[in-house]
Amino acid sequence: MLVPLKFVPLFKYRIWGGEKLKSVLNKDYDSDAIGESWEISDVPNDETIVADGQFKGYTLKQLIQEFKGEFLGESVYKQFGEAFPLLIKFIDAKTPLSIQVHPNNEYAKTHHNSFGKNEMWYIMQADQDANIIVGFEKEIDKIQFKQHLEDKTVLEVMHHENVTKGDAFYIPTGRIHAIGAGVMLAEIQQTSDVTYRVYDYDRVDKTTGKTRDLHTDQAIEVLDFNVENSYKTVYDKELNTSNTLIHSPYFKTNFLPVKGELTKDYTNTDSFVIYMCVSGALSITHAEKEYVLQTGETMLFPASINQVVLKSNNAEILEVYF
């Protein structure tokens, strides 16, 4: 019988990484400048493994091969086969990320044999006056954009938005973006590691002694230059309710604040379900066994799990499924 599963995170050095994943989320690593904790990953050569229990050491691929739709959900298995469709991360930006953009499914398939990279951010913590870049501030075209890159004035045409805990943003493919300094967030995305950098502050990576590659030609091919009135997602925060946060064709995420006891029934959800604990702690009971989920931890419920009982004094969960 399949059970709730925790995976061993993969910790990723990043030129912009800090210490919050360790100091705030209690991640266990010894390296410096860890920018990302890959919580659940099926990226080739970066597969997370089950942390404990009867399936300890299993990768997502092995679980899918053995249990198929029972693990993924029949409709998900029919669509993706043995490829797990989501990559789940926590990110800590001590300094800004590069200005970047991701391609859609068609472009990524043709050029990288990969999924595209639609993603979302949920801000878990932000230093005072910390901001993100998302989209353009004003209408420009490809020629003007190239000129801004040459003049190193591209930041002037980006939309900067100050952020605080609980802010959420959907980042569809084609939308230019960057996480700013002092921001820690949860990221939910398609299983893809394809990123086109367009500007990186001329930084030198201490591990290589070189600046990082830019991908301006590819970026310009996939960039969406449309300007939106607002980039932030507005959502409800009703207690003990799965409040719609971001529902896209690529994943669905709800905001679930838990206080007291709550029974969740997933009988009609033909998908695995992932919980990311973004605040507080809760106990999860399934088949008379209790599991604990703390801030900064992630748990996956295979699709065959129809019901769980949640208990918490005060926890906030991102509920993710396909």
Q: Enumerate the active-site residues.
A: 197
CA distances from 282 to 29, 79, 187, 216 (A): 24, 33, 21, 44
| Tokens of residue 100, six digits | 């970047």
Q: Do strands 243-247 and 252-265 pair parallel, antiparallel, or not at all (unpaired)?
A: antiparallel
CA distances from 21 to 13, 108, 253, 255, 299 (A): 12, 30, 22, 21, 17
Q: Is 142 exposed, middle or buried (0-12, 13-18, 19+ CB in 10 A)?
A: exposed
Task: For residues 169 and 119, give the distance between their C-alpha atoms in angstroms, rounded to a whole number.
Answer: 9
Task: For residues 277 and 294, give the distance between their C-alpha atoms in angstroms, rounded to a whole number.
Answer: 6
Q: What are phi and psi of 320, to 5 degrees?
A: -120, 135
Contact (CB, 8 A) for 158 and 137 = yes
What torsion, rounded to 10 degrees, do the Cα atoms 31, 297, 119, 157 define? Answer: -60
Question: DSSP for 235-257?
Answer: ----TTS-EEEEE-SS-EEEEEE
Task: For residues 200 and 95, give the distance between their C-alpha atoms in angstroms, rounded to a whole number.
Answer: 11
Contact (CB, 8 A) for 79 and 59 = no
DSSP designation for 102 = -
